[in-house]
């Protein structure tokens, strides 16, 4: 694996988080009348597109990456709802763990690498 792929796999979860979490918080905090409604709809579309982009691609681990990013949005929403209580820390800890899970998902080997090669001449060949 060359360094550009390594850097991208390390940075993708944080880039997605920086692009998704403000939209998640905006959906929860903004009003739903007038121009605020238009901004809320725009943020919802942005969030949907970002989540689709998290699942897109043919690299191994993209489904797990997309799931981790979706769940991290839910934990950010949970932290917003729990604020100003002590449960905010639990939600934020779960968010950080999901960032780690998303990062590890991108380092998953291809499915064909999980198969154990059998020596030639074994039964079933």
Residue 72 is predicted with a pLDDT of 95
pLDDT score at 115: 52
Residue 31: per-residue pLDDT = 83
Q: From first to last of the 125 residues of the chain, give the pLDDT tens digit.
A: 667 778 878 888 899 999 999 999 999 998 888 899 999 999 999 999 999 999 998 878 889 999 999 999 999 999 999 999 999 999 999 999 999 999 999 887 766 555 555 566 655 55
Report d(CA 78, CA 89) in Å as an integer. Answer: 10
CA distance 113 to 83: 44
Measured between alpha carbons, how far is 7 from 17 in angstroms, rounded to an integer? 16
Q: What is the pTM of this model?
A: 0.78
Integer angstrom CA distances of residue 113 from 51, 82, 108, 109: 27, 43, 10, 6
Q: Which residues contact 68 (CB under 8 A, 6 or more apart)?
A: 13, 98, 99, 101, 102, 105
User: For position 8, what pLDDT does the model report?
Assistant: 78
Cα 3-52-64 angle, rounded to 5 deg = 60
């Amino acid at each position: 694996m060359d360094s550009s792929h390594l850097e991208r796999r390390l940075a993708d979860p944080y880039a997605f988080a920086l692009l998704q979490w403000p939209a998640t918080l905006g959906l929860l905090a903004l009003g739903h009348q007038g121009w605020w409604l238009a901004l809320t709809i725009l943020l919802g579309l942005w969030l949907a597109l970002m989540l689709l982009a998290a699942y897109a691609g043919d690299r191994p681990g993209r489904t797990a990456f997309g799931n981790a990013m979706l769940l991290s949005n839910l934990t950010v929403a949970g932290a917003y709802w729990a604020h100003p209580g002590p449960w905010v820390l639990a939600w934020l800890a779960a968010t950080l763990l999901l960032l780690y899970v998303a990062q590890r998902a991108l380092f998953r080997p291809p499915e064909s690498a999980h198969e154990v090669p059998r020596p030639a001449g074994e039964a079933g060949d």
